[in-house]
A and B are shown apart, each in its own frame.
Chain A
Amino acid sequence: MWHALKAELAYFWPWLLGGLGIAAFVMALLSVLVRFLEDGDGPPSFVIAIFPIIAGMVVAFIAQGYRAEERRSRMLLAGPLTPRQLAGVTVLLPVCFCGLGALATVPMIWLATLITGKFEPSALSVIAGFACQFWAYAQLGPLAQESTAARRQQRSTATIAGWAVFVGAILVLAASQFFMHSIYGYIGVAVAALAAMGVAAALYLRRSDFSR
Chain B
Amino acid sequence: MSDHRPEPAARLSGLTKRWLGFQLGPLDLVLEPGTVLALVGPNGAGKTTTLNCMAGLIVPDEGGTEVFGAPVHPSRTEYRRDVGYVGEESGFFQRWTARRNLEFLAKSLPGWSNDRASRLGERFGLPLDKPVSKLSRGNKTKLALVAALAHGPRLLLLDEPTSGLDPVVRSEVLDVLWEITEDGEHAVLYSTHVLSDINRLADELAFLRDGQLVLRCGRDELSERWRRVSFRLHDEDVELAGVVEQRRVRAEHQVITKDAETTLHQLTELGAEAVEVSRMSVDEIAVQILKEGHHVARAQG
Interface residues of A (CB under 8 A from B): 3-4, 7, 11, 66, 70-84, 154, 207-212
Whether A82 contacts B89 by the Cβ 8 Å rule is no
CA gap between A76 and B108 in the complex, in Å: 8
CA gap between A74 and B83 in the complex, in Å: 13
Whether A209 contacts B20 by the Cβ 8 Å rule is no
CA gap between A73 and B92 in the complex, in Å: 10
CA gap between A80 and B106 in the complex, in Å: 12
Whether B104 contacts A7 by the Cβ 8 Å rule is yes
> Chain A's nearest CB lies how many Å from the CB of B145?
13
| Contacts between chains A and B (CB distance < 8 A), count | 83
Interface residues of B (CB under 8 A from A): 19-20, 52, 55-59, 61, 74-77, 80, 83, 85, 87, 89-96, 104-105, 107-110, 147-148
Other A-B pairs, 19, CB within 8 Å; known A79-B108, A207-B59: A3-B108, A66-B94, A72-B93, A75-B91, A76-B108, A77-B56, A77-B74, A77-B80, A78-B55, A78-B147, A78-B148, A79-B80, A80-B80, A80-B109, A80-B110, A81-B108, A83-B74, A211-B57, A212-B89
Whether A75 contacts B90 by the Cβ 8 Å rule is yes
**Residues in A whose Cβ lies below 8 Å from that of B148:** 78
**Residues in B whose Cβ lies below 8 Å from that of A208:** 58-59, 61
**Residues in A whose Cβ lies below 8 Å from that of B93:** 7, 11, 70, 72
**Residues in A whose Cβ lies below 8 Å from that of B77:** 80-82
CA gap between A84 and B95 in the complex, in Å: 26
Known A77-B56, A83-B75; contact A70-B107, beta-carbon cutoff 8 A: no
Whether A78 contacts B109 by the Cβ 8 Å rule is yes
* Interface core residue of B19, B83, B87, B89 (most chain A CB under 10 Å): B89
Whether A84 contacts B52 by the Cβ 8 Å rule is no
Whether A79 contacts B20 by the Cβ 8 Å rule is no
Known A77-B74, A78-B80, A80-B108; contact A70-B59, beta-carbon cutoff 8 A: no
Q: List 27 A-B contacts (CB under 8 A).
A: A70-B94, A72-B91, A72-B93, A73-B57, A73-B91, A74-B57, A76-B91, A77-B56, A77-B74, A77-B80, A78-B91, A79-B80, A80-B77, A80-B80, A80-B108, A80-B110, A82-B76, A83-B74, A84-B75, A154-B19, A208-B59, A209-B52, A209-B58, A209-B59, A210-B74, A211-B58, A211-B87
**Residues in B whose Cβ lies below 8 Å from that of A80:** 77, 80, 108-110
> Chain A's nearest CB lies how many Å from the CB of B113?
15
> Chain B's nearest CB lies how many Å from the CB of A201?
14
CA gap between A74 and B19 in the complex, in Å: 20
Whether A74 contacts B91 by the Cβ 8 Å rule is yes
Smallest Cβ-Cβ distance to B108: which chain A residue: A79
**Residues in B whose Cβ lies below 8 Å from that of A76:** 91, 108
CA gap between A174 and B14 in the complex, in Å: 50
* 5 shortest interchain CB distances as A-B pairs: A75-B91, A74-B91, A79-B108, A211-B57, A71-B89
Smallest Cβ-Cβ distance to B17: which chain A residue: A208
Whether B74 contacts A75 by the Cβ 8 Å rule is no
CA gap between A74 and B88 in the complex, in Å: 10
Whether B87 contacts A210 by the Cβ 8 Å rule is no
CA gap between A3 and B108 in the complex, in Å: 8
